[in-house]
Structure 1
Amino acid sequence: MNRHSERGRFRMSAPIVFLMGTMFLTNIGFGVILPTLPFLASHLGATPFDMGLAISFFAVAQLLSSPIWGILSDRVGRKPIIIIGVVGYGVVSALLGIVPNLPLLLVLRFFAGAMAAAVFPAAQALAADHTLPKNRARILGYMGSVNNIGFIIGPPVGAFLAVFGVNVPFVGVGMLAVLNGMVGLWLLPRKANGRQQILDGTNTTHTTAEYDPTDLIKIMRPWAILPFLCASLFGAIADSSIASTLAYFITSHLHSTPLVTGWAFMVNGGTAALIQVVALPLVYRRFGETPAIILGFFLGTMGYVSLGLAGHVFIALLSVMVISCCSGLVYPIIASAISIRTPRNSQGRSFGVQQAANSTGRTLGPMVAGWLFTIRPSDPYFLASVLMAGMATFFLIESFRKRNAQVAFQSEDVAHDSSK
């Protein structure tokens, strides 16, 4: 009965509901702009290389600014950083619609990435502030699910708005983001920051310590969150092989149509969203953190190998579904693991560092995948499978190491009690 009431209170929390709405609307904005950006670049006379620069500028800005925004969210609060990020991204996106030349387009894409980077670490930290550790993977999975759904909805919305002009989708995203920020001013708690009273695993509240400059060093201890940061980095590199080469793989290597490519990306996002809502809570509760991560990376290994070997588009779509099961399981659990291992007043900076790891992977991944694709179309996916297998092996070895250490500790306790 108590657990049921706890879950109900958790689901009805206004900050959590708003965060999901914020992530949903923000990813609709991403989905609207990404398919429309090439048309704007073409309107300005940009080349495909220039288009690649525009995407890279966004990722580099996220890489550089995510840790800074995370630290600021611990210092000044989650709410102002989220509002600044959402509204700032909207304003910059609207300005993209009236950009007159390529250099200014690149500058605005950089600032768009910097503003977007403010949203995710602060939003994840606020979710961690308002959830118990045992519920954290579930709520982060829900947030990931609405991210995927928003990204799926975005492209058709962008295509519809583009009928009225190439500039209209950008202005529409800007208006949506500003409206989202205004709602956030009303719904987010006034003291949504790293020093507020927050929940811990004992279902009680504690006031976090004041800011300590050494906290960032503490959370970077190798066996605290570093393995999970590596998992985020390698996972982002693998994911970017899908984002950057799947369309070419399906159309040129498998000789299919752009329509099937669109279906493949919808399958990718939709399957991950479904896994995060339905399967993630069950798997996490049944098996625990490390076994669930191992299972996810194992699925990723099988999915990428299958995609690399695919000779028919149907096999490719099934492989993408398996890969999506991996991302749907692993990445919310990784974010939860980082949060649980981080001091309460350092949640923002730890998520900022994780976002920087993701951005690094999404900056390096497309370049590596594009180069490998020119050698052989299946090579990007074989590389991704090696990365997935490596992470699965690492966490499996770590699981055995911890189990053996626990058995040895219990044996020492038994021997000590017997000697008495």
Structure 2
Amino acid sequence: MDLRQSSVLILGLVATAIGQSLIFAILAPLGREVNLGELQITSIIAISALIFALASPWWGRFSDRVGRKPVIITGLAGYTVGTLVFTSVFYAGLAGALSGLTLYAVLLLARCSQSIVMSATSPASTAYAADHSAPTTRTRTMARLGTANSLGTILGPAVSGALAAFGLLAPLYFAAGLAALAGVAVWRFLPPTPKEDLTARNRRYRLRFTDPRVRHYLLSATGLFVGYSGIQQTLGFQLQDKLGLSGIATAQLTGAALMISAVFTFTSQMTLMQRLNLSATQFLRLGLVAMLFGAAIIAAFDRFAVLAVGMAFIGVGMGVSIPAVAAGASLAVSTEEQGAVAGLVSACPAMGFVAGPIIAGFLYQIHGPLAALFSAFVFFVVLVLLTLHERR
């Protein structure tokens, strides 16, 4: 994959990652501003994530037939329009035009509708990268692609903190504009899939999550994101309640914590993933150990400095785990199945966000530290299962 192709792909993924990290940073305080409960706030992410998970495999297979470029553009356009609608509904809630269960229902509908279309970008981008990389460089290529999400997560909280001074909705409008610009860049500068390649992939390959070649990667990735989303979606509540912060201050510190994690994710992808000659499962086990330590620290934090250490461990774990899953699954299947397997891999984070936020949000209402301890337990179980699979 040449420099222009990788740069355009990274730009599209950075734009969506910035938007997602903005939403994660401000959703907790913004939800409380419109009088939504913790479980309502986390369920918006969880249910829309389920829709994302169901749609991603279809988009991956669709990109095998029509090409990666139009599917990527479709996803970015859907993200732009969906973010504008989602933000406008919150504006109506802040203005008092919508409230209570009506506001919750409209927000949920807007976010789920957005998820159907924006789920196109990730599998098509991952499949494009697999199409243009050799098997021997696949892990490094996926790690470089993973830096796009890391950069977005680094920049997103910084943008959120700066724009939150103009109101909690300002960062979301910015995210919509950025995704639109990324879509234009992909349309202008990303080379399309050659017609002969589309003809060769014309048959439909319907991979399943239970395929023995990739199921251990998919189960591990789903478990990773169950634990990670549980931490991420209760982070704002923990900061606000433990440190007694205002809504804007909570958004800013939540963004700072996510940015710390993203910096360590980016660093691990640019150093460990590029220099260590490990297999995909070895990288995955290394990441799980780091995330287990991070979750334990977050469960016990009493000041921001301690939380920052835990988020650093989480960042390292995510940095080496997710590219390892993408590369391992890609190498396990044939050339004709790259779009299909990319769709399944892209569905794993969304499936994790279905269960993680709801369980963690429920546990947080019982006792705050239980949310992070639940994540630590999930990481431990996944690590044990992956180790047993390797021995078999």
Would you call these one fold, judging by a TM-score over 0.5?
yes
The number of equivalent residue pairs is 375
Q: CA RMSD in A?
A: 3.0
TM-score normalised by L of structure 2 = 0.84
Assess, with a 3 A threshold, how the Cα gap between structure 1 residues 174 and 289 changes in structure 2: closer, same or farther. Answer: closer
Residue range with higher mean Cα deviation, 138-147 or 115-124: 138-147
Pairing partner for 2:177 from 162, 175, 178 = 175
Q: By how many angstroms is 1:347 displaced?
A: 1.6
Equivalent AA in structure 1 for residue 119 of structure 2: A
Assess, with a 3 A threshold, how the Cα gap between structure 1 residues 141 and 33 changes in structure 2: closer, same or farther. Answer: same
2:291 corresponds to which residue? 300
Three-state SS of the structure 2 residue aligned to 1:224 is coil
Three-state SS of the structure 2 residue aligned to 1:216 is coil
Residue range with higher mean Cα deviation, 77-86 or 316-325: 316-325
Assess, with a 3 A threshold, how the Cα gap between structure 1 residues 174 and 294 changes in structure 2: closer, same or farther. Answer: closer
Residue range with higher mean Cα deviation, 102-111 or 15-24: 102-111
1:142 corresponds to which residue? 144
CA distance in 1, matches of 2:342, 2:325: 11
CA distance in 1, matches of 2:76, 2:129: 16
CA distance in 2, matches of 1:23, 1:245: 25
1:326 corresponds to which residue? 317
Equivalent AA in structure 2 for residue 373 of structure 1: Y
Three-state SS of the structure 2 residue aligned to 1:210 is coil
Assess, with a 3 A threshold, how the Cα gap between structure 1 residues 97 and 331 changes in structure 2: closer, same or farther. Answer: closer
State how 1:100-115 maps to structure 2 within 5 Å. 100=92, 101=98, 102=103, 103-115=105-117
CA distance in 2, matches of 1:29, 1:158: 10
CA distance in 1, matches of 2:255, 2:31: 21
Higher-RCO chain (CA-CA 8 Å, sequence separation at least 6): 2
1:122 corresponds to which residue? 124
Equivalent AA in structure 1 for residue 184 of structure 2: M
State how 1:18-417 maps to structure 2 within 5 Å. 18-35=8-25, 45=34, 47-48=36-37, 50-99=40-89, 100=92, 101=98, 102=103, 103-158=105-160, 160-161=162-163, 168-191=170-193, 196=197, 208-212=200-204, 215-217=205-207, 220-253=209-242, 258=250, 260-283=253-276, 285=277, 287-310=278-301, 313-401=304-392
Q: By how many angstroms is 1:221 displaced?
A: 4.9
TM-score normalised by L of structure 1 = 0.79
Q: What 5-or-longer segments of structure 1 have no aligned partner?
A: 1-9, 198-206, 402-420
Residue range with higher mean Cα deviation, 118-127 or 132-141: 132-141
Q: By how many angstroms is 1:86 displaced?
A: 0.5
Residue range with higher mean Cα deviation, 384-393 or 324-333: 384-393
Q: By how many angstroms is 1:112 displaced?
A: 1.6
Assess, with a 3 A threshold, how the Cα gap between structure 1 residues 93 and 264 changes in structure 2: closer, same or farther. Answer: closer
* Superimposed CA distance per residue, residues 252-286 of structure 1 (whole angstroms, 9 cap, x where no aligned partner): 35778846544322211111111111111222x2x
Greater gyration radius: 1
CA distance in 2, matches of 1:179, 1:311: 41
8 Å Cα contact 2:201-2:336 kept in structure 1: yes
Assess, with a 3 A threshold, how the Cα gap between structure 1 residues 316 and 173 changes in structure 2: closer, same or farther. Answer: closer
CA distance in 2, matches of 1:241, 1:75: 36
8 Å Cα contact 1:94-1:172 kept in structure 2: no
Assess, with a 3 A threshold, how the Cα gap between structure 1 residues 261 and 82 changes in structure 2: closer, same or farther. Answer: closer
Residue range with higher mean Cα deviation, 273-282 or 30-39: 30-39
8 Å Cα contact 2:140-2:274 kept in structure 1: yes
CA distance in 1, matches of 2:365, 2:84: 36
CA distance in 2, matches of 1:353, 1:366: 21
Q: By how many angstroms is 1:14 displaced?
A: 2.0
8 Å Cα contact 1:93-1:173 kept in structure 2: yes
CA distance in 2, matches of 1:166, 1:322: 29
Assess, with a 3 A threshold, how the Cα gap between structure 1 residues 314 and 341 changes in structure 2: closer, same or farther. Answer: same
Q: What 5-or-longer segments of structure 2 have no aligned partner?
A: 93-97
8 Å Cα contact 1:251-1:261 kept in structure 2: no
CA distance in 1, matches of 2:363, 2:32: 27
Equivalent AA in structure 2 for residue 86 of structure 1: L
Identity %: 25
8 Å Cα contact 1:96-1:105 kept in structure 2: yes
* Superimposed CA distance per residue, residues 2-24 of structure 1 (whole angstroms, 9 cap, x where no aligned partner): xxxxxxxx4x4322211111111
Q: By how many angstroms is 1:355 displaced?
A: 2.3
